[in-house]
């Protein structure tokens, strides 16, 4: 019958059709707009790229250049006043429920498009159809939904239109910078907000992404599941995609008596990975030993100190150096591992300068760590001399 549409589905059929359609849209956003266009983490076959562009035109009306520009600016100005959608600068409610309006405001700025929108599609279709007639696409989608699903078509269409504004512009940009867990102590407030993988295509691992923005794979822990990565690997098998870069795995290539520029560059490029290793191989075992035999308030205090030492200064969790130093004044070992972490981090600020000074500082760091008398720190220094990054 006409009110059921051409497909004449059951109630559950309409539900699953909606889930499928919105899932294709989120896959287009995360694979094409985010990983391929904004960060160049993979290269897609022209036919696949055009399908993604067409589908996004039909289901969102978003222009590739605008989306890419806004997202790149977010990474460049993350948590600063110029960030297009930071809950640290506005509020979680503003981004969660008004993220689409923040996106629209930023995407209309010519200076943002000029500074951050380079390298996106600029062919005849983009100029004369996708960018010029954004409402035509979503109008055609409405017509198709009505024909296929009958009276349920407008409802399905409305869900399609709200899916990206809520889940991407709201949840990922809002909650993903406000609440959740962190694998990497990045300098922003990014968080992983598992378990929304099937709904937002792997984008829920937002902290992982901010640590390695150019990685085509967002999952890091063995139990994290990036469903878009599965699709990317399938496209690779079909010769329809080429992965350019993923986050490194831990690789130690043996001890070296002296550090070199290759080691310095590797540590600088993988700074968040190195800090993560420092937390797991130095901070955690030292505090585990310190907590042995402790109970009640003292154990709680030590666990709080461990969190403070392991956490970078962000807009969400900011701990003053003086306050932390006062808390550590009675424990030389804990104060030492904190100070060595700060010295390690200071190497990042030397990026782009003459290599002689940071190289000498890295050598001194390793030498002093090995002479510290703290077993975990000594072992980490020996391992760090042989640190290498390896594609996952």
- Residue-wise pLDDT for 106-153, tens only, equals 999 999 999 999 999 999 999 999 999 999 999 999 999 999 999 999
Q: Which helix (H) or strand (E) holds 55?
A: helix 46-59
pLDDT score recorded for residue 316: 42
pLDDT of 207 above 50: yes
Tokens 């960030």 map to which residue? 83
Asked if residues 85 and 101 have their Cβ atoms less than 8 Å apart, the reply is no
Arithmetic mean of pLDDT over the chain: 89
Asked if residues 362 and 263 have their Cβ atoms less than 8 Å apart, the reply is yes
pLDDT score recorded for residue 154: 96
pLDDT of 1 above 70: no
Q: 229 falls in which pLDDT band (50, 70, 90)?
A: very high
pLDDT score recorded for residue 180: 92
Judged by DSSP in three states, 271 sits in helix
Q: 351 falls in which pLDDT band (50, 70, 90)?
A: low
Distance of CA 304 to the CA centre of its chain: 26
d(CA 103, CA 391): 34
pLDDT score recorded for residue 36: 98
With CA atoms as reference, report the closest residue to 343 among 263, 237, 267, 262.
Answer: 267
How many other CB atoms are found less than 10 A from the CB of residue 144? 14
Residue spans per domain, the chain: 2-246, 251-312+320-391
pLDDT score recorded for residue 390: 64
- Say what the pTM is: 0.86
267-307 per-position pLDDT tens digit: 888 888 888 889 999 999 999 988 887 888 888 887 888 87
pLDDT score recorded for residue 315: 43
d(CA 166, CA 169): 6
pLDDT score recorded for residue 296: 83
The beta strand positions in 209-337, using DSSP E, are: 241-243, 248-252
Nearby residues of 139 by Cβ (< 8 Å), 6 or more positions away: none
Whole-Å CA distances, 154 to 138, 144, 223: 12, 10, 38
Least confident of 90-94, 163-167, 273-277, 280-284: 273-277
Phi, psi for residue 109 in degrees, rounded to 5? -85, 120
pLDDT higher at 51 or 308: 51
SS3 content of the chain, % helix, strand, coil (to 5): 65, 5, 30
With CA atoms as reference, report the closest residue to 113 among 147, 73, 142, 79.
Answer: 73
Q: Average pLDDT, stretch 364-369?
A: 94
pLDDT score recorded for residue 84: 96
Report percent pLDDT > 90 for the chain: 66
Q: Average pLDDT, stretch 200-227?
A: 94
pLDDT of 318 above 60: no
d(CA 1, CA 30): 37
How many other CB atoms are found less than 10 A from the CB of residue 281? 17
pLDDT score recorded for residue 323: 62
pLDDT score recorded for residue 317: 46
């Amino acid at each position: 019958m006409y009110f059921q549409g051409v497909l004449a589905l059951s109630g559950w059929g309409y539900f699953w059709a909606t889930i499928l359609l919105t899932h294709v849209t989120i896959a287009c956003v995360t694979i094409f707009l985010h990983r391929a266009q904004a960060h160049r983490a993979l290269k897609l076959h022209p036919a696949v790229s055009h399908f993604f562009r067409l589908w996004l035109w039909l289901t969102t009306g978003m222009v590739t250049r605008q989306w890419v520009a806004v997202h790149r600016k977010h990474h460049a100005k993350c948590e600063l006043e110029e960030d297009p959608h930071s809950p640290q600068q506005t509020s979680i409610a503003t981004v969660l429920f008004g993220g689409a309006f923040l996106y629209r405001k930023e995407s209309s700025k010519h200076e943002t498009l000029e500074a951050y929108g380079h390298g996106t599609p600029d062919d005849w279709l983009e100029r004369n159809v996708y960018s010029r007639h954004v409402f035509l696409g979503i109008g055609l989608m409405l017509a198709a939904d009505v024909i296929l699903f009958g009276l349920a078509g407008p409802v399905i269409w409305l869900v399609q239109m709200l899916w990206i504004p809520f889940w991407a512009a709201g949840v990922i940009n809002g909650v993903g910078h406000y609440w959740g867990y962190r694998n990497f102590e990045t300098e922003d407030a990014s968080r992983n907000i598992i378990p929304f993988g099937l709904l937002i295509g792997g984008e829920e691992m937002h902290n992982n992404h901010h640590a390695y923005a150019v990685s085509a794979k967002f999952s890091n822990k063995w139990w994290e599941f990036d469903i878009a990565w599965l699709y990317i690997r399938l496209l690779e098998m079909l010769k329809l995609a080429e992965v350019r870069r993923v986050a490194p795995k831990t690789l130690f290539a043996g001890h070296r008596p002296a550090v070199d520029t290759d080691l310095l560059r590797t540590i600088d490029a993988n700074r968040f990975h190195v800090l993560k290793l420092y937390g797991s191989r130095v901070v955690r075992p030292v505090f585990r030993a310190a907590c042995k035999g402790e109970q009640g308030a003292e154990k709680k205090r030590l666990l709080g100190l461990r969190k403070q030492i392991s956490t970078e200064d962000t807009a969400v969790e900011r701990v003053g150096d003086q306050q932390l130093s006062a808390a550590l004044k009675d424990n030389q070992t804990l104060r030492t591992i904190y100070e060595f972490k700060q010295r390690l981090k200071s190497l990042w600020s030397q990026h782009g300068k003459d290599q002689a000074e940071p190289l000498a500082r890295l050598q001194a760091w390793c030498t002093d760590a090995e002479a510290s008398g703290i077993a975990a720190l000594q072992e980490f220094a020996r391992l760090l001399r042989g640190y290498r990054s390896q594609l996952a």
